[in-house]
A and B are shown apart, each in its own frame.
Chain A
Amino acid sequence: MKTYQQHEQSRQDREEMDRKQSNRGDIKSAGPDVESTSPSAPQPEIPRLLFGDLWDYDPAPESTEPFPIEKRYEHFIGGKFVSGEDYFPSINPATEEILFEVPAAGQKVVDQAVAAARSAHQRYWKELSGAERGKYIYRIGRMIQERSRELAVLETQDNGKPIKETRDVDVPLAAAHFLYHAGWADKLDYAFPGAKVSSLGVAAQVIPWNFPLLMAAWKIAPALATGNTVVLKPAETTPLTAVMLAKIVQEADLPPGVVNIIHGAGETGSNLVQHPDVNKVAFTGSTEVGKLIQKSLAGSGKKLTLELGGKGANIVFEDAPLDQAVEGIISGIFFNQGQVCCAGSRLLVQESILEPVLSRLRNRMASLRVGDPLDKNTDVGAINSRAQLEKITSLVQAGEKEGATMVQLSCPLPEKGFFFRPTYFTDVAQSHRIAQEEIFGPVLTIQTFRTPEEAVQKANNTFYGLSAGIWSDKGSKLFKVAGALRAGVVWGNTYNKFDPGSPFGGYKESGFGREGGLHGLLSYVEVK
């Protein structure tokens, strides 16, 4: 067997040959590059990927024309769109232009929505057979598929994420969640051996802005399948696809009040989860807010699930398939601009392969295209809001101040909009804020380890416990490390994969309860 060093030598030899062949002398590098703030930072050892430097990409924007956005959208309560008060704007984070406005729900609107959900649970939804419920849920899934292009275009404008992600990930997965759960509605007797389950009643659901439609699907589909009715509050910066989902629910002719969607910020969410006639609370968002919700529900008897923050470790062993690992590192931290609770935001690299990994990573980062989210070639779009951009910026400044070495893609950014360059830090200490706090942006910290034990110790050295990645070609090591990591989702030789049948959720302060799969149903039923 070849040792790693021999492998690496032969790989470098091959790459050297490739470089000689492709460097025809007359091609000047014009593409984006990565820049380091530190003059001592190591330079790439292997050449950049050169496929893009003979010509510029033409703009390839997805058309928004077929999908006009109205000036104003409303709450959806009891099957009807109802106007409200205190309208606030939602902007396109890539252009900073106002897209539309929605009302902020006060206590009165929250009361109305919960009452509508309660009435729908008692009058219709609880009485309906599982088979009938399933057909309604199925309709929603199909109609999301039918309007998938529209939903993708609208989501990209409201959220700022690249169209290739909304088109290929958010929207198809949202549809898949409804289709998967439709089939559970009449099979719950088989889901929980030896137990009888019943619905809880009214579910209050508060979701974040990073996957607006997908999170709505994660929340609504299992709740409906298990016979609950819902009041959902989308994030205040991304209500658009929730409104579209409400339209789909209306067109799918669900009994009025089974799904209610109200708009507003934190205060609305707080009023909703604390409403005395709510039986179930499901929250996805920051650990800080999750703790406040857990406190506020103390003694209420409401069933609670929390899907909170993370600081996922992505561990690369020296026997890993390096090219695949680098793809996993890229998708782990730059997917959705890193605004992902399960992002692989802490890269742990075995010391012996740090340089090969770093050079490949810089190389791959240089091919990332940052810019217009509607452009089909864009890899990294806009940060969702100015507030989030400021948070990322301040944490990155803290990283520099604390002595870590920053390397950043030196690409041009659009003049307007909230953009942040893909970034990584080396020379990161475990105590640095960038290694401890969830940045929720395209910022990776890189640390090294020598032994698997050290990797596990570093990976678990966090209050969070949502996700982790392991890269190794040795199966026994992969299983051993997967078992030792205190994280709810572990990706082996892959990262950031999602499926409606795959339970998702955290250990420790990343929350409790699961979403998706058989185990996600447990969050929405009473077991007897």
Chain B
Amino acid sequence: MAAKSTRSKAGSESKARATVAKTYKLYVGGAFIRSESGRVMAVKSGDTFVANCARASRKDFRDAVKVARGALSSWSGKTAFNRSQILYRAAEMLEDRRAVFVDRLQSHAGFNEAAAEREVSVSVDRLFWYAGWADKFTQVLGGVNPVAMPFFNFTLPEPTGVVAVLASSTSPLAGLISAIAPVLAGGNTCVVLTDHDAPTIPCDFGEVLATSDFPGGVVNLLTGSRSELLPHVASHMDVNAVALFGGSKEERVLLETEAAENVKRVRCFDDPPVADWASSDHQSPYWIESFVEWKTAWHPVGL
């Protein structure tokens, strides 16, 4: 029954043959894993059962942070060109699976066909856009500073480190990608928590990432409850920054209060209605800037 509903579009053929049902898991350290807690969330489309998605626990989050920390040097140590190429590759992989996502957005997330097509197009284009930024924002936003002394002085961005992303609850794909692409372009690694009615979509996106040459652990995708995990995200001492999309006033207060314990950088973004994610208001090199640290170096100039 479950198998049938996840492949409802298979039509008459489904009567003859039962499809193989997919297990939706967390994507951590380059592997697809179940929650250590053994918990799942039953995902439904209307009244129809769709899948059991893993519901990440506090321990899953902590494990993912450890993995993301471990992956930081391999990701930030790559050339900007190489990071750019891998992000481009992710755009290729997503484009390639376009039909799957258009289908799932309709059958799992209640999109109509036009909206599903748009969601996927925005997602691919946004990844492609940020991929190009990865080896350019340094030049556009960094610089050489003309100091009034015989010194060569320049300012360059470096990744902030491990970023926890509390992604959109309106847009399961474009919102997710709009959140993580600037973080990755800046050279950070991330742990992403998606609390969306259709958590299968971010899980499917994990397969795009898994085939895009990201080193394991650069992006870690968790599905679960934001309200459950937010206090643990906020207080984790090895998280350097948090990106919060939407969220209530109470959530922001809690997050920013706990975040002060290790002076986390907290960035709060809007979580607009799903159709609005297509707007170019939701992509900016200054979103990359939100997750970098500026390093200024001095050296004497002389004979």
Instruction: Report chain A residues within 8 Å CB of B254.
Output: 298
* Alpha-carbon gap, A294 to B261, bound state (A): 9
Q: Is B143 an interface residue (CB 8 A)?
A: yes
List the A residue with the shortest CB-CB distance to B151. Answer: A497
Task: Chain B residues near A39: list those with CB within 8 A.
Answer: none
B114 contacts the other chain (Cβ, under 8 Å)? no
Partner of B151, one of A494, A504, A518: A494
Q: Is the interface of B mostly helix, strand, loop or mixed?
A: mixed
Binds A, one of B48-56, B171-179, B289-297: B289-297
* Contact with A502, one of B153, B255, B260 (Cβ below 8 angstroms): B153
User: Across the two chains, which residue of chain A brings its CB closest to B250?
Assistant: A299
Max chain A Cβ within 10 angstroms of own Cβ: one of B140, B153, B259, B265: B153
B46 at the interface (CB under 8 A from A): no
Kindly identify which residue among B155, B260, B296 contacts A295, using a CB–CB cutoff of 8 Å: B260
Within the complex, the shortest CB–CB distance from A512 to chain B, in Å, comes to 5
Is B98 positioned at the interface, with any CB of A under 8 Å from its CB? no
Cβ A291 vs Cβ B140 within 8 A: no
- In the docked arrangement, what's the CA distance between A194 and B147, Å? 26
Determine whether B300 belongs to the interface, using a CB cutoff of 8 Å to chain A. Answer: yes
Contact residues in A for B82 (Cβ distance below 8 Å): none
Q: Does A478 count as interface, using CB distance less than 8 angstroms?
A: yes
Q: Which of A155-163, A215-223, A485-493 contacts B (4 or more CB under 8 A)?
A: A485-493
Which chain B residues lie closer than 8 Å to A483 at the CB level? Answer: 158
Q: Are A514 and B294 in contact (CB under 8 A)?
A: yes
Which residues of B from 267 to 303 have beta carbons under 8 Å from A? 284-286, 289, 293-300
Q: Which of B238-262 contact A (CB under 8 A)?
A: 240, 249-250, 252-257, 259-262
Contact A501 B145 (CB under 8 A): yes
The residues of A that contact B38 with a CB separation of less than 8 Å are none
Contact of A291 among B250, B252, B261, B297 (CB under 8 A): B261
Judged by a CB distance under 8 angstroms, whether B148 is at the interface is: yes
Shortest C-beta distance, A210 to chain B (Å), equals 20
Q: Are A291 and B260 in contact (CB under 8 A)?
A: yes
Known: A298-B256, A298-B260, A517-B155. A497 touches B149 (CB 8 A): yes
- A487 proximity list for chain B (CB < 8 A): 295
**A306-B263, A499-B153, A512-B265 as given contacts; A492 in contact with B297, CB under 8 Å:** yes
Of B143, B252, B260, B286, the residue contacting A294 (CB under 8 A) is: B260
Tally of contact residues, A, Cβ under 8 A = 48
Within 8 A of B (CB), among A472-528: 478, 482-483, 487-494, 497, 499, 501-505, 507-512, 514, 517-519, 522, 527
Please give the distance in Å from B255's CB to the nearest CB on chain A. 8
Partner of A490, one of B143, B297, B300: B297
Residue-wise, chain A 94-115 has the 8 Å CB interface mask toward B (1 for contact) of: 0000000000000000000000
Bound: A488/B297 CA distance, A: 8
Contact B296 A502 (CB under 8 A): yes
The smallest C-beta distance from B238 to any residue of chain A, in angstroms, reads 11
Query: In the bound complex, what is the Cα–Cα distance between A333 and B192 (angstroms)?
Result: 42
Chain A contact residues, CB within 8 Å of chain B = 176, 192-195, 287, 290-292, 294-295, 297-299, 306, 308, 463, 465, 478, 482-483, 487-494, 497, 499, 501-505, 507-512, 514, 517-519, 522, 527
* CB-defined A-B contacts under 8 Å, sample of 9: A298-B259, A489-B297, A491-B297, A501-B146, A501-B148, A503-B294, A510-B263, A517-B143, A517-B155
